[in-house]
């Protein structure tokens, strides 16, 4: 029973972190251009962009 | 704003690309005006500008734009959004000018236009999508965690542990359901208040009943709680909802792209002679509007100053431009070709020709029978059925003597297991997949139902000018008394925007003209051609080798009456060369409409599929007849006015034909709306593009064949999905009704059926790879 008191909050906390991560990504416009992001990773040019 | 006056009588080559004419020119129209009108003020003195780039299709284009603008010393930020074909710029006010950025982008080879100022609408749309994604995230999180707790309960937790787990589940599930269920609850509430049922009513009922009963069970130390079932249900339903929304957003951003091409600003001349840029909505009757060659006339009015040729093709389908001079009436939507015009506004806003046609279109919309989507029809039968079965289950078990908790428990299982997930996903999943396939092949699909309609089409009606033909003409024959003069005549032709001159210049493929291509007295001086002048409505003249070279109408070239000929379609250009002491030499060039690539094959394929192909045009009888013969189309009608076209289409419809209308002109707007479904090429007028259900983004019509194939297999897949959903229900409902399924089993069965339906829809990708598409040419 006592391990449950430890494990359940950990499990919930991890799930909650995942949810926060998703909401953060949503808030910072990371789903605005799915096609662009998919292609950007293939761009070989390492010079920084503005 | 200062740049306007410098531009008053000159056009730079980049503004009117030599390879294009009226319609391309229409689209680059705003480049001559001050587009800083479109920029938005940000914090700290920064300004932002969004441009829509029509021909940015791939990762290559994206990095080309971002790389080259990264080197721009004054720009603070440049970012491409490939999905929406947008480029976003930010800079410090005064550092650079919106027009310069626009020109730079054009110089890279991209067709750009500033984004219309409709940010409020966009905000609403984006907020909607975001709310759905929030709900989806929360429901997903809650469903996963509650499921974890449920598994422990199933594995044999009893007593206090089980109670603890149930309470924990309730703690997670209740707020999550209250939050993530809102899209369904509010929709169900709206439907109930209006006095009818929709699919959201049983969903809301199942979710609320399940949560309520679970809470009751939990409080009474009961054995079963099914928060898990309610949440899984919500999660899967939200996936369907989000896909549906995604489809709408795709269509919406397409429409936005099209609207961006609208000529939304105009150049006004004030009484003191100064010029300023105004949005078209602010123009009042009596104002003087300045229209450069290549621009679309923004208002209805009367010409005060200037002579020019006017392209009416988007209005009446006529491919030969008409002359215009002071006193003539012109309408919004016409394209000014050869000389700058000053127009006195006589009508704006609701009384322009364009808005008249839009009004006609709305009428057509009211008259056309409303097409009910397959999914809606299914839902209207299914939703009452589900309620009835659940109710019968509950009362049946009650009568049988089972306590109310047990009866309700079974009834909830029925509601969950019959949840229309598979049914709800059957249509949107297929449509999203089909729409993305179509998009990949250069076809914009504005609503999902259009594809469904397309599969039922039995008649295809084409417009001629601009649809079957490209909006440019082709040289079909020439006669010249001295061949060595041909190249120089073609060289002279390059100095005009007139479609005939453009066609002549194109026919002799000389390298494109560099530098200035000027319009009035001070003209480009080449090595051999001197003093080039254009006289709008008549032709061009120039000095060559001490002689006079003229190109234009029969009268303009002073050609002897004995040479006068009329060819049947009457697209002729004359040239004459007179040099002192020599016999005058004359030339005649004849032109015809240039067919869009792939049209002949397209018509043949359509006819082979037993579709009735027809041709409707506003052009002259001879021209239409010739085209019909060439393409082997038996049914054709010429000299049709917009309302005649529209009523013809309506007649076809009321005789039971399902018509696909393919058209591009302003005059096609009402008929595009009246037709069962409709398609426009990308070169089409704004009205046509906004009205049509499909817009073709590349030059060839060949993709129509692929679109038909796509429509057919989408429909087949939708029916398969319905069949799968039906079979699932036939098996699952009796099991649930007789109480063999617990709510969680019901939820899992429901999810499985949704997944099967989704996987089936994804098969469309495999099927579509073998269809006939016009591949995009790389930039």
Q: Are strands B694-696 and B677-681 parallel, antiparallel or unpaired?
A: parallel
Q: What does the alpha-carbon distance between residue B617 and residue B612 come to, in Å, rounded to a whole number?
A: 17
Q: Is B413's pLDDT higher than 60?
A: yes
Q: Is B138's pLDDT higher than 90?
A: yes
List of chain B residues whose C-beta atoms are within 8 Å of the C-beta of residue A4: 161, 164
Highest mean pLDDT, choosing among B47-51, B180-184, B437-441, B751-755: B180-184
Q: What does the alpha-carbon distance between residue B349 and residue B284 come to, in Å, rounded to a whole number?
A: 9
> What are B319-336's pLDDT values in tens digits?
677 888 888 888 877 878
Confidence of residue B116 (pLDDT cuts 50, 70, 90): low
Half-sphere exposure of B20 (CA within 13 A, CB side): 17
Between B247-251, B269-273, B586-590, the lowest mean confidence (pLDDT) is in B247-251
Taking only Cα atoms into account, the Rg of chain B, rounded to an integer number of angstroms, comes to: 32
Q: What does the alpha-carbon distance between residue B702 and residue B725 come to, in Å, rounded to a whole number?
A: 35
The beta strand positions in B209-321, using DSSP E, are 265-269, 275-279, 288-291, 300-305, 308-311
Q: B158: burial class by Cβ within 10 Å (0-12, 13-18, 19+)?
A: exposed
> What are B739-749's pLDDT values in tens digits?
777 766 777 77
Q: What is the rounded average pLDDT of the residues B658-682?
A: 83
* Between B561 and B715, residue with greater pLDDT: B715
Closest residue of B to A37, CA-based? B82
Q: What is the rounded average pLDDT of the residues B39-59?
A: 81
Q: Which of B471, B483, B706 is nearest to B585 (CA)?
A: B483
Confidence of residue B349 (pLDDT cuts 50, 70, 90): low
B45 φ/ψ sector (left φ>0, alpha ψ -120 to 50, else beta): left
pLDDT at B364: 44
Q: Do A43 and B63 touch (CB under 8 A)?
A: yes
Q: Is B157's pLDDT higher than 70?
A: yes
Q: What does the alpha-carbon distance between residue B319 and residue B496 come to, in Å, rounded to a whole number?
A: 17
* Between B476 and B551, residue with greater pLDDT: B551
* Between A45 and B12, residue with greater pLDDT: A45
pLDDT at B501: 81
> What are B432-491's pLDDT values in tens digits?
788 878 877 778 776 667 788 888 899 999 988 778 887 677 777 777 776 677 778 887
Q: Do A19 and B141 touch (CB under 8 A)?
A: yes
Taking only Cα atoms into account, the Rg of chain A, rounded to an integer number of angstroms, comes to: 18
List of chain B residues whose C-beta atoms are within 8 Å of the C-beta of residue A40: 59, 62
Q: What does the alpha-carbon distance between residue B290 and residue B300 come to, in Å, rounded to a whole number?
A: 13
Helix (H) or strand (E) holding B344: strand B341-347
Q: What is the rounded average pLDDT of the residues B334-357?
A: 71
Interface test with A, best of B87, B145, B176, B250 (most A CBs within 10 A): B145
Q: Are strands B443-445 and B329-330 parallel, antiparallel or unpaired?
A: unpaired
Decide if B756 contacts B429 (C-beta within 8 A): no
Q: Is B244's pLDDT higher than 80?
A: no
pLDDT at B314: 64
Q: What is the rounded average pLDDT of the residues B259-271?
A: 68
List of chain B residues whose C-beta atoms are within 8 Å of the C-beta of residue A12: 145, 172
Q: Does A42 touch chain B (CB under 8 A)?
A: yes
Q: Where are the alpha helices (DSSP H) in B529-620?
A: 599-608
Helix (H) or strand (E) holding B98: helix B98-107
Report which DSSP code applies to B85.
T
Q: Is A7's pLDDT higher than 90?
A: no
Q: Does A24 touch chain B (CB under 8 A)?
A: no
Q: What is the rounded average pLDDT of the residues A4-31?
A: 89
Q: What does the alpha-carbon distance between residue B306 and residue B100 come to, in Å, rounded to a whole number?
A: 29
Between B127-136, B491-500, B711-720, the lowest mean confidence (pLDDT) is in B491-500
pLDDT at B516: 36
**In sequence order, which residues have a C-beta less than 8 Å from that of residue B154 and are 6 or more positions away?**
none
List of chain B residues whose C-beta atoms are within 8 Å of the C-beta of residue A39: 58-59, 62, 82
Catalytic residue set of B: 463
Interface test with B, best of A24, A26, A34, A35 (most B CBs within 10 A): A35
Highest mean pLDDT, choosing among B171-185, B631-645, B697-711: B171-185
**In sequence order, which residues have a C-beta less than 8 Å from that of residue B320 and are 6 or more positions away?**
B570, B571
Q: Do A26 and B134 touch (CB under 8 A)?
A: yes
* Between B512 and B154, residue with greater pLDDT: B154
Q: What is the rounded average pLDDT of the residues B45-71?
A: 84
Q: Do A36 and B161 touch (CB under 8 A)?
A: no
Q: Do B82 and A36 touch (CB under 8 A)?
A: yes
Q: Is A21's pLDDT higher than 90?
A: yes
Q: What does the alpha-carbon distance between residue B760 and residue B427 come to, in Å, rounded to a whole number?
A: 11
Q: What does the alpha-carbon distance between residue B593 and residue B25 come to, in Å, rounded to a whole number?
A: 19
Decide if B263 contacts B296 (C-beta within 8 A): yes
Complex ipTM above 0.95? Answer: no
Q: What does the alpha-carbon distance between residue B349 and residue B546 come to, in Å, rounded to a whole number?
A: 52
Confidence of residue B28 (pLDDT cuts 50, 70, 90): very low
Report angle CA B663, B352, B637 to the nearest 5 degrees.
30
Confidence of residue B174 (pLDDT cuts 50, 70, 90): very high
CB neighbour burial string for B185-196, b if at least 16 within 10 angstroms, e if fewer? bebbeebeeeee
Mean pLDDT of chain B: 76
Interface test with A, best of B74, B122, B129, B137 (most A CBs within 10 A): B137
Q: Is B104's pLDDT higher than 80?
A: yes
Give the phi and the psi of residue B168 in degrees, each rounded to 5: -60, -45
pLDDT at B108: 86
């Amino acid at each position: 029973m006592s391990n449950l008191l430890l494990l359940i909050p950990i499990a919930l906390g991890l799930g909650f972190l995942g949810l926060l991560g998703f909401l953060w990504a949503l808030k910072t416009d990371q789903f605005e251009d799915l096609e662009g992001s998919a292609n950007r990773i293939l761009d070989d040019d390492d010079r920084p962009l503005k | 704003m200062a740049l306007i006056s410098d531009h008053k009588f000159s056009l730079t080559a980049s503004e009117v690309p030599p390879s294009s004419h009226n319609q391309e020119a229409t689209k680059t129209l705003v480049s001559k005006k001050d587009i800083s009108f479109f920029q938005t003020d940000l914090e700290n003195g920064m300004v932002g500008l969004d441009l829509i780039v029509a021909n940015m299709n791939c990762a290559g284009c994206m990095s080309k734009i971002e790389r080259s603008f990264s080197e721009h010393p004054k720009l603070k930020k440049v970012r491409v959004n490939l999905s929406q074909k947008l480029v976003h710029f930010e800079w410090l006010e005064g550092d650079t000018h919106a027009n310069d950025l626009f020109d730079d982008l054009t110089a890279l080879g991209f067709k750009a236009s500033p984004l219309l100022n409709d940010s409020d609408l966009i905000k609403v749309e984006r907020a909607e999508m975001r709310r759905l994604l929030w709900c989806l995230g929360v429901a997903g999180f809650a469903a996963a965690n509650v499921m974890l707790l449920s598994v422990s309960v199933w594995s044999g937790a009893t007593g206090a542990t089980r109670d603890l787990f149930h309470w924990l589940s309730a703690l997670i599930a209740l707020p999550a359901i209250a939050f993530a269920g809102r899209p369904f609850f509010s929709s169900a509430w709206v439907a109930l208040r209006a006095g009818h049922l929709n699919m959201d009513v049983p969903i809301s009922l199942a979710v609320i009943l399940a949560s309520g009963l679970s809470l009751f069970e939990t409080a009474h130390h009961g054995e079963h709680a099914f928060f898990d079932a309610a949440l899984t249900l919500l999660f899967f339903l939200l996936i369907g909802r989000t896909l549906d929304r995604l489809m709408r957003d795709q269509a919406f951003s397409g429409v936005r792209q099209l609207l961006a091409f609208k000529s939304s600003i105009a150049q006004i001349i004030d009484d003191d002679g100064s010029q300023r840029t105004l949005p078209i909505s602010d123009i009042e009757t009596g104002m003087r509007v300045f229209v450069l060659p290549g621009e679309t006339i923004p208002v209805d009015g009367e010409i005060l100053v200037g002579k020019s040729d006017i392209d009416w093709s988007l209005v009446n389908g006529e491919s030969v431009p008409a002359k215009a001079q002071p006193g003539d009436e012109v309408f919004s939507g016409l394209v000014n070709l050869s000389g700058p015009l000053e127009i006195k506004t006589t009508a704006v806003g609701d009384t322009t020709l364009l808005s008249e046609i839009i009004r006609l279109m709305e009428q057509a919309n009211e008259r056309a029978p409303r097409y009910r989507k397959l999914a809606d029809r299914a839902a209207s039968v299914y939703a009452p059925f589900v309620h009835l079965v659940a109710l019968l289950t509950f009362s049946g078990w009650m009568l049988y003597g089972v306590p109310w908790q047990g009866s309700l428990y079974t009834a909830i299982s029925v509601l969950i297991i019959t949840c229309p997930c598979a049914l709800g996903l059957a249509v949107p999943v297929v449509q999203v997949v089909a729409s993305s396939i179509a998009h990949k092949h250069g076809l914009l699909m504005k609503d999902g139902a259009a594809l469904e309609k397309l599969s039922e089409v039995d008649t295809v009606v084409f417009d001629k000018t601009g649809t079957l033909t490209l909006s440019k003409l082709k040289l079909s024959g020439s006669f010249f008394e001295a061949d060595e003069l041909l190249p120089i005549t073609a060289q002279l032709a390059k100095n005009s925007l007139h479609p005939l001159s453009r066609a002549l210049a194109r026919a002799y493929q000389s390298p494109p003209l560099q530098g200035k291509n000027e319009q009035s007295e001070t003209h480009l001086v080449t090595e051999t051609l001197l003093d080039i002048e254009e006289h709008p409505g008549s032709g061009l003249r120039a000095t060559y080798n001490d002689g006079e070279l003229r190109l234009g109408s029969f009268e303009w070239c002073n050609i002897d009456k004995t040479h006068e000929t009329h060819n049947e379609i009457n697209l002729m250009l004359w040239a004459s060369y007179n040099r002192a002491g020599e016999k005058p030499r004359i030339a005649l060039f004849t032109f015809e409409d240039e067919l869009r690539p792939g049209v002949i094959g397209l018509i043949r394929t359509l006819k082979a599929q037993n579709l009735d192909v027809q041709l409707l045009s506003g052009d002259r009888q001879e021209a239409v007849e010739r085209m019909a013969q060439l393409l082997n189309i038996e049914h054709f009608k010429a000299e049709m006015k917009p309302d005649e076209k529209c009523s013809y289409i309506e007649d076809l419809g009321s005789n039971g034909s399902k018509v696909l209308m393919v058209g591009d002109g302003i005059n096609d707007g009402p008929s595009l709306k009246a037709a069962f479904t409709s398609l426009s090429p990308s070169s089409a007028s704004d009205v046509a593009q906004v009205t049509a259900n499909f817009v073709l983004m590349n030059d060839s019509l060949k993709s129509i064949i692929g679109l038909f194939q796509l429509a057919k297999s989408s429909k087949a897949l939708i029916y398969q999905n319905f069949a799968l959903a039906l079979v699932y229900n036939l098996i699952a409902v009796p099991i649930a009704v007789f109480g063999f399924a617990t709510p969680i089993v019901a939820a899992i069965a429901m999810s499985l059926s949704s997944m099967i339906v989704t996987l089936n829809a994804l098969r469309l990708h495999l099927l579509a790879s073998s269809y006939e598409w016009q591949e995009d040419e790389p930039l």
